[in-house]
Chains A and B, each alone.
Chain A
Amino acid sequence: MGAEQPGSTETVLSLVGVTKRFGPSTVVDRVSLSIGRGEVFTLLGPSGCGKTTTLRLVAGLERPDAGDITLRDRLVASASRGFSLAPNQRNLGMVFQSYAVWPHMTVFENVAYPLELRGMKRAAIRDKVARVLDLVGLAGMDSRPGTLLSGGQMQRLALSRALVYEPDLLLLDEPFSNLDAKLREQMREEVKILQRRLGITVLFVTHDQVEALSLSDRIAVMSNGCVEQVGAPRALYEEPSSAFVRDFLGQTVILRGTVDSAAAQVVVKLDGALAGHTLVGRPVPGLTLVPGSAAHVAIRPEDIEVGLPDGGAAHANRVPGVIETLGFVGDRYEARMALGGELRLVLHLSRARAWREGERLDLGLPPARVSVWPA
């Protein structure tokens, strides 16, 4: 353990065309993924997008209706060959959303159980359990019943139980969702440190984008059973390839218009209240824009440059706005802006300057940060 870098070439898990149906609905639809050794790979998406079912397919808790799943060069499930290896034959570790700490066992017994199943000697078990409990900060709690732990401790226990037998892959099913905000952040850090230290490969399922962005090496955004886009957190955030990914990750400001010309850069004439303004942006790879067709101009609010109306303009990509309401929240101002009296968006303004409601501002949209989408 430990030496490999994230994203090294060895593939730990691969899914090829995996499909799962529950009755008439297809919950997982031809999903293909491949996870490298030492990588933290996240399935991110809203409720019902199929991410948990994908995880359960990997775990062997569900059988795929189509497709193959391979774990470390070993085919563990294949719909075409009609077999699916039982979960106990896959050597995986899993932390459940509810932690699934066995209430009739002590902390020690919970962690020792998988080692016992692997026929390890008592002394070795004691050693190993002590080491892993120490690692997660539960040293000295061996004889405590599993149910008498706090939420954070239960999660540490579930984590140590999943790690103690050094599984090929660690599955995390929304492990932080039952913790309060502060503890959640702390556990996230701890898991990250632990993962970096042990170099374990992790498949992580969450609907929380902050968790996903901060923990993952790569993320697969899922929607309606399909993988929408796979990529590093920053690439996904800055260069989403679909409107779903764009809107699911972070905030987006959308301005409507008509394509004027499309080349390496796209020129869009805005409609409605902002009619008369023209914006330039980059096209999204793979999506075609025809002059005359309706388009959406998208930008992250934090990329908008706020200037005064008479200030010198670095580029021509700008629209006017008026501060409607202004709130001071400590480290910054939150301003609700009206664009052309119609569109509304919330911007964060620096407290370096005093702003006032009703003030007219000039909003600059750097062309490199603006993407243009077919409406």
Chain B
Amino acid sequence: MAGLTEAIDARPSWRLELGTVLCTLLLALVALCVVFPLVLVAIQSLQVAPPGQPARYGLDGWRAALGEPGLRAALVNTFTITLVRQLISLPLAVLIAWLLARTDLPGRSWIEFAFWAAFFLPPFTVTLSWILLLDPEYGLVNTWLAKLPFLGKGPFNIYSFWGIVWLHVLTGSLTVKVILLTPAFRNMNASFEEASRVAGAGGLRTALRITVPVMAPAILSVLLLGTMVSLQTFEVEQVLGLPFRFFVFSTSIYDLLVTRVPRYDAATALSVVILVAMLPLVFAQQWLTQGRRFTTVTGQFQHRVQPLGRWRVPVLIFFSVLLLTVLGVPVLFACLGTFMKLFGFFHIADPWTLANWSTVLADETFLRSLRNTLVLAAGTAVATIVVHSLIAYVVVRTRYAGRRLLDFISWLPFTVPGIILGLALLWLFLGVGVLRPLYGTTTLLIVAGVIAGLPLGVQLIKSGLLQLGAELEEASRIAGATWWLTYRRIVLRLMAPTLLAVGMITFVGAARNIGNFALLTTSANRPLSMLQLDYVAQRKLEEAVVVACIIMLVSLAGALVARLLGLRGSVG
């Protein structure tokens, strides 16, 4: 064989002109749904007239976004929070991934699954659980610690900068890195490490001097991905930041939009700022994953593990505490919270009740929202499988001229806060006549869900396709099968586990999505995730917790199914 490069470049090109036409249609559709709304956002940032008045163009929005102290503070807060959470979570995630992938830690596959489950927990639910423990007045941990003689008052306050960072590390930053890095570490050629051991380096020195540098591209890629995802978050700041007037990008945008006179100009100007800040990250991510910089770490190598020796017990204790924190506490307290008469008040006489559940389950609104959520989640999952696999296939397997562009566009939804993507879609659907009837329908939310999930879905299917190897398809073509028959009998059959798992992730994501849906829902298509926010706004915290708990249970079930289908995270 004439080497790796030829094998990669020499993709089949048997698609006829019809194929090019179909690819172009797909590209146009994706561009319409992703690029066009973003252009609308950019234009809107220059349109300064209040809603309902004739359009007037100016720079007021930009002046506000860059000049108003509140919004500038939000900018600074966003970058500070992003930086701090990455600084804390990355070294920890690398350590955990190394322990899970390269050592003889007992029960490591179960621990890895626990991180998967934790990744699926809805941030909103986790936030509510930790409020029960760390509320400055009533939080369980604080009230226990307050009983100690030398502490007058509980030391923790979740409504603080560090409270927000804590929740981010738990809900997003750490778990996603662990589940992406662990398989990458597992695939690393063990002989790199063995050579270092033979040369006289100890286990820790080998890990720091050999393993981590060899894995640098994968780690960097995960860091970029994590940074992009972390700029998206909304719920945690919305719940924890509001009480002490702490705003980040997404929450100040929400604040600007959900007032009596929405400030679309300033909100969109802020969004453009963040989009521009994110584009280099997308390019860096593409550069990292395209140049085959992972060749040294992929492939089948004999997988030998490092004995932990006397570190075994301390490491096990470390993982017990960690898993209790990321998984145990949120699940337990989310469930406990649903049985409380007054959410968070453990010290009142007879705090427990079943009334919350019976109220919610009897509520007409809840049942409608539940139905909406199920339709929405199932619809999004199916649509995602179809659309994302098509995009991934075109990007990986064809020589279509626009495939790089398609790949790039599929990353774009990561570059804007979910709420702005929602806003952009709102304009798209209200602005384009034929699409207007879709407003207020679940279809609109499905479209939003499919677009929001593009980066993750396309990447997962792409890496699945890359592992599949083109020769399996080519063998079928040469054996006499048409392209379509090959796609059905070889590609889809072999990709089924990945596709189902992507569908499962999407199902869960759609069931708990808040940011993308916040501006697109009406009372007619409101799903559970928005209902819980509405309950919070109506100060029905107990009902909100019940809904949050239900969403969490759905998510955990999804995690289990996705895992059973054999999906492993992978980078690039």
Given contacts A87-B478, A98-B471, 18 further A-B contacts (CB under 8 A): A27-B6, A47-B6, A48-B6, A52-B1, A52-B6, A53-B6, A60-B14, A60-B478, A61-B477, A86-B477, A86-B482, A87-B474, A88-B479, A94-B474, A97-B471, A102-B494, A113-B481, A113-B489
Min distance, Cβ A15 to any Cβ of chain B, angstroms: 17
In the complex formed, the residue of B with least CB distance to A158 is: B475
Residue pair A102, B1 in contact (C-beta under 8 Å)? no
| A interface size (C-beta, 8 A) | 44
Contacts of A283 in B (CB 8 A): none
Contacts of B469 in A (CB 8 A): 98, 100
The answer to whether A62 and B493 touch (CB under 8 A), given A88-B481, A165-B480, is no
A86 to B477 alpha-carbon distance, docked (Å): 8
Select A100's contact among B1, B10, B14, B472, beta carbons within 8 Å.
B472
A51 within 8 A of B: yes
The 3 closest A-B pairs by CB, nearest first: A114-B479, A100-B475, A100-B471
B3 within 8 A of A: yes
B476 within 8 A of A: yes
The answer to whether A173 and B1 touch (CB under 8 A), given A48-B6, A52-B10, A100-B471, is yes
Contacts of B481 in A (CB 8 A): 88, 113, 117
A51 to B494 alpha-carbon distance, docked (Å): 30
Tell me the residues in window 459-481 of chain B with beta carbons closer than 8 Å to chain A beta carbons: 469, 471-472, 474-481
Tell me the residues in window 144-166 of chain A with beta carbons closer than 8 Å to chain B beta carbons: 158, 161-162, 165
Contacts of B3 in A (CB 8 A): 47-48
A249 to B298 alpha-carbon distance, docked (Å): 34
A60 to B490 alpha-carbon distance, docked (Å): 19
Tell me the residues in window 1-48 of chain B with beta carbons closer than 8 Å to chain A beta carbons: 1-3, 5-6, 9-10, 12-14
Residue pair A177, B1 in contact (C-beta under 8 Å)? yes
Min distance, Cβ B35 to any Cβ of chain A, angstroms: 26
A42 to B3 alpha-carbon distance, docked (Å): 18
Query: Digit string of A95-137 for contact with B (CB within 8 Å is 1, else 0)?
Result: 0111010111000000001100110000000000000000000
Tell me the residues in window 478-525 of chain B with beta carbons closer than 8 Å to chain A beta carbons: 478-483, 485, 489-490, 493-494
Residue pair A61, B474 in contact (C-beta under 8 Å)? yes
Select A161's contact among B479, B490, B494, beta carbons within 8 Å.
B479
A118 to B474 alpha-carbon distance, docked (Å): 17
Q: How many A-B pairs with Cβ below 8 Å?
A: 106
A177 to B7 alpha-carbon distance, docked (Å): 15
Task: Give 10 CB contacts A-B under 8 Å.
Answer: A52-B2, A59-B474, A61-B13, A88-B481, A88-B482, A93-B478, A102-B494, A114-B480, A174-B1, A177-B1
A75 to B489 alpha-carbon distance, docked (Å): 29
Residue pair B474, A86 in contact (C-beta under 8 Å)? no
A289 to B201 alpha-carbon distance, docked (Å): 62
A287 to B472 alpha-carbon distance, docked (Å): 46
Query: Digit string of A36-74 for contact with B (CB within 8 Å is 1, else 0)?
Result: 000000000001111111001001111100000000000
Min distance, Cβ B11 to any Cβ of chain A, angstroms: 9
The answer to whether A53 and B2 touch (CB under 8 A), given A102-B472, A102-B490, A114-B479, is yes
A98 to B475 alpha-carbon distance, docked (Å): 10
Residue pair A86, B14 in contact (C-beta under 8 Å)? yes
Residue pair B1, A84 in contact (C-beta under 8 Å)? no
The answer to whether A103 and B1 touch (CB under 8 A), given A53-B10, A87-B474, A88-B482, is no
Min distance, Cβ B481 to any Cβ of chain A, angstroms: 5
In the complex formed, the residue of A with least CB distance to B7 is: A52
Min distance, Cβ A341 to any Cβ of chain B, angstroms: 40
Residue pair A63, B14 in contact (C-beta under 8 Å)? yes
Residue pair B6, A96 in contact (C-beta under 8 Å)? no
The answer to whether A22 and B479 touch (CB under 8 A), given A61-B14, A87-B14, is no
Q: Which of B9, B10, B480, B490 has the most CB atoms of chain A within a 10 A radius of its CB?
A: B480
Contacts of B472 in A (CB 8 A): 100, 102-103
A113 to B481 alpha-carbon distance, docked (Å): 9
Residue pair A94, B6 in contact (C-beta under 8 Å)? no
Min distance, Cβ B13 to any Cβ of chain A, angstroms: 6
In the complex formed, the residue of B with least CB distance to A25 is: B9
Q: Which of B5, B477, B485, B494 has the most CB atoms of chain A within a 10 A radius of its CB?
A: B477
Residue pair A62, B478 in contact (C-beta under 8 Å)? no
A91 within 8 A of B: yes
Contacts of A98 in B (CB 8 A): 469, 471
Contacts of A86 in B (CB 8 A): 14, 477, 482-483
Contacts of B479 in A (CB 8 A): 88, 113-114, 117, 161-162, 165
Contacts of A84 in B (CB 8 A): 14
Select B2's contact among A51, A92, A102, A165, beta carbons within 8 Å.
A51
Contacts of A97 in B (CB 8 A): 1, 471
Q: Which of A51, A98, A173 has the most CB atoms of chain B within a 10 A radius of its CB?
A: A98
A27 to B10 alpha-carbon distance, docked (Å): 10
A97 to B483 alpha-carbon distance, docked (Å): 21
Min distance, Cβ B493 to any Cβ of chain A, angstroms: 5
Query: Digit string of B214-248 for contact with A (CB within 8 Å is 1, else 0)?
Result: 00000000000000000000000000000000000
In the complex formed, the residue of B with least CB distance to A20 is: B10
